[in-house]
Every structure is written in structure tokens, then in C-alpha cells.
Amino acid sequence: MQCCYRGLGQSAQIIHCEACVTAVTTGLPVVTTNIVVLHSTAFFSRDTILLNYLASTDVMWRLAVTKLFLCLWVVKKGGSHLQDTLKELNTEFAVSFYQKLAETENNSNLIVSPASVSVTLGLLQFGAKGNTFSQLESALGYNVNDHRVQEFLHRMYEDVTNSSQSTVLQLACALFVQNGTKLSPAFAQYVSSWVNSSLQQANFSEPNRTRTQISQWVHSQSGGEITDVMSCDLIGSTLTQIAMVNIVFFKSTWQKEFLITETQNLPFTIADGSTLKVPMMYQAAEVNFGQFKTPAEQRFTVVELSYLGNAISMLVVLPSERRTSLSLIEPYITARGIALWASSLRKIKMDVFLPRFKIQNKFNLKTVLHTLGIIDLFDPDKADFRGISEQDSLYVSEAIHEAKIEVTEEGTKASAVTAMVLLKRSRAPVFKADRPFFFLLRQANTGSILFVGRVQNPLA
């Protein structure tokens, strides 16, 4: 089995301190959509814009060394540790994807679903050959053709789709295939056996009808949270052969809800130092928390708030010092760091303040995937998807990602409250997210990062 393992950086040092910490919210609907459009190169247009990627020598050196390290580690330790390794690789992709995207979205609110993106890239990897396959393998860190990897991914995605009365968690993927396009039998079987995946025929020569077809599927799979994900321009080309659409939808309530009667308009300091009044939720609760510091000695606090059932939780990361920018903390977030947080946090009763917020982002993934080394699949001359179809020379023309999150006291859209109440102050430590913070939604048993983002301005 070929493996690729990116450098995880230096582990954060743990500082147990009952000082100020961060806060999170109650229930929230979260939804994300991925759109990948594959074109045939039979009538390649010269107007297609190709993007180039230059990897730094340092990054490539770390990739080579860590890949060698992981291969030797797996051989030495054997298959019993493979599941933990794959969990860490999955988390490392999530972190790298977020950090690359965050670099292009300075000082803005951000929400993405690495789980959604990795599902889509995994399907593409199964149908890829040659260098296109190698680039996807290097970015994801694993080979989807390995049966042990497939077993791990199947179990993980099955766990992701497990819902209960208190929590709805849905993952679904559909391939809309142009009528007459002959798919590889192995690829068609792989897709049909994937969790909540389906193949659907479409006629891309009728863009309005196809757009409606895709939108209806997205609407039904996302609980109505996302309705318009693809413009006619994206699917109107006569070269379009396949549109790959992926949905991850999450909605739940907190293990302990924030009371709307406790929400007040309080100051929130944004990145430029100015302040604004935002609806700040509050509760006195027993939460998991810890304080850490980066190798550069910047201290930060992590607070974990669980949703009903404790299967999924939100981790909120807040710089401990008001003068420390969130941008100084984000580069040090790693897969090993997140695992360290999860194992090192301890329960304590504290006053938790978290702003109510809502974020919705839509991105073209070409640029960020290029920075992760995934280049050839966008190039009509280099893309190799013979594992999907031998009939046409396919390449990815568009890759769209849309994610949405809403955090409220009870997990539903709350109307404005004019009556404000004074909060009773206790002697407990205070976690007050009154400045920019980072957050992620993590599944406990798989370690899967479902959503990750940051809040720079709760009102934006």
C-alpha cells in the first residue's frame, strides 16, 4: 500500500489553567454542497484558463520525509494501527484544506466541510489513473483502491449518516451523467456501493432542466437549507459529461441549551480593533476545556460543547490574550494538535459566552486544490479519468463548494428579543468568545471533521 503523510507540525504544549476560555452555542443546522463538473476534451476550447501551482521546496521536502516515515511506520506496526493512522490522515487533510482556504479569505467569516470535499475527491481518485491519481493520493494521504482504506471509509461514512431523534446527520452523493456516456462497470459499482450514493442520468444540452433536476436533489438531501447551487453557465456546455454533487447536512441541539432569555447585546472586538454589539448567548455549564500554547508561545484556549447524544461536539479555539490575533494561532492547528486537545481537555464548571452567528460561503475550489497539489484533474490535456470512462477524455472544469452554518440558543432560527436580562455572575472561570475565534464540528468515534470555520464578525 502506498501512503502519503504530511508533516503535522510541532505539538502544542498543554497548560492547565482555570482562566478565561472560549464559548460555543446550542443547536444549529449545518449544510454543505460540493459540485464537480467533468467535461470531455473532444472539443476542447482554447479559452479554458489553466492554473499553475508552484510548491515550495520546504513543503515538498516535508511531504517526501513524512511519506517515507508513514510507510515505514505502517510496515513496522502492522494493520492494527492502520485505523488510527487513517483517522489522523483524514484530519490532516481537513486542517490543510481549511488553512489553505483561510489564506485566501483574510479577515472574513469562514465555514467549509472537509468531509464533503474528501468524499468527492475520494470518488474522483477511484476513477483516476496515472499522475492524476498520484496527486489525489498525495493530497488525501491514502489510496482508495486499498481494501483496508475502503473498509475504513465505509465505516466512517456510515457513522456520519447515523441520525437520531435529537441529531440529524446526512451525507449523500450523486453523479449526474450525460445520457449516452458509458461509465466503467467497476466505477459504477463502486459509486452505487458507496454510502448514500447514486447515479442519475441527465441531459446537459438542456441546462435549465438539468439545473432544476440537480437543485431538487440538493433541496431534498439538505433539508431545504440549500436550493440554488449551480448556475446554467456551469452545466450549459455541450462538453459536460458528469456533474458530481455531494451533500453533508447536520442539525442538532446542545446537550445543555443556551436560554434565549439569557442572551444580551454585548461588545465583540473584530480584527481591526473596533467593537460592535452582538447577541451574546450565555450559560453556566460544565464543559471540557484546556489551555495550550503554540511553539511561538502564543496561548490559546479550547472549549468543547457537546450536542445531544455526545456523538458530535463543537470545539471552539480562542486566543487567550486579547492582543493575540487568531491568524497567529491558525497555522499551528494540526491533526495531532486536535487529537491532543480531545485527550487533554478536562471538565470544569464555567460561565460560557458565545455569540449567535450565521455563516454561508460559496467557493470555487480550483485555487485551493491547486495549492494542495491537485492540478492535473483541471487540465484537459493532462487529466486522466480512464477509470470513470474509456469513452471520453474527461477533465474537471468546475469544482464548487458551498457550506452554511447557523448557531443559536436552541438550534432553530430565533426571533429578536427586546427584553434583556442581567446575568448572575458566579465565581466560576469565564470563557467569553467576544473576539475572533476558530471552531470545528468533530465526530467523537471516527474523529471526522465534519465542518470547520472561524468567526471574525458575528453580524457579517
Of 196, 202, 234, nearest in space to 216 by CA:
202
pTM for this structure? 0.80
> What pLDDT, on the 0 to 100 scale, is given for residue 6?
35
> What pLDDT, on the 0 to 100 scale, is given for residue 165?
57
> What pLDDT, on the 0 to 100 scale, is given for residue 163?
59
Q: Where are the domains of the chain?
A: 13-28+254-358+412-455, 30-252+363-406
CA gap 243, 53 in Å, rounded: 25
Which residues of the chain carry a pLDDT beneath 70?
A: 1-29, 36-80, 160-166, 195, 226-239, 410-428
- Helix, strand, or coil (residue 60): helix
> What pLDDT, on the 0 to 100 scale, is given for residue 240?
74
> What pLDDT, on the 0 to 100 scale, is given for residue 284?
92
- Residue-wise pLDDT tens digits, 236-252: 566 678 888 888 888 88
Please give, one letter per residue, the 3-state secondary structure of 68-97.
Answer: HHHHHHHHHHCHHHHHHHHHHHHHHHHHHH
At which residue does the C-alpha cell 469544482 appear? 399
CA 94, 104, 321, 352 torsion: positive or negative? negative
CA gap 113, 266 in Å, rounded: 30
Going by the DSSP 8-state scheme, the letter that residue 274 receives in this structure is -
> What pLDDT, on the 0 to 100 scale, is given for residue 445?
80
Residue 269 has φ and ψ, to the nearest 5°, of: -90, 120
Of 153, 154, 214, 152, nearest in space to 178 by CA:
214
CA 69, 73, 75, 81 torsion: positive or negative? negative
Other beta carbons within 10 Å of 424: 9
Other beta carbons within 10 Å of 419: 5
What top-level class would CATH report for the domain 13-28+254-358+412-455? mainly beta
CA gap 429, 86 in Å, rounded: 37
Topology of domain 30-252+363-406, per CATH? Antithrombin; Chain I, domain 2 (3.30.497)
Contacts for 425 with CB less than 8 Å, ≥ 6 apart: 351
Residue 310 has φ and ψ, to the nearest 5°, of: 65, 10
CB distance 263 to 279 below 8 Å: yes
Partners of 447 in beta bridges: none
CA gap 34, 403 in Å, rounded: 9
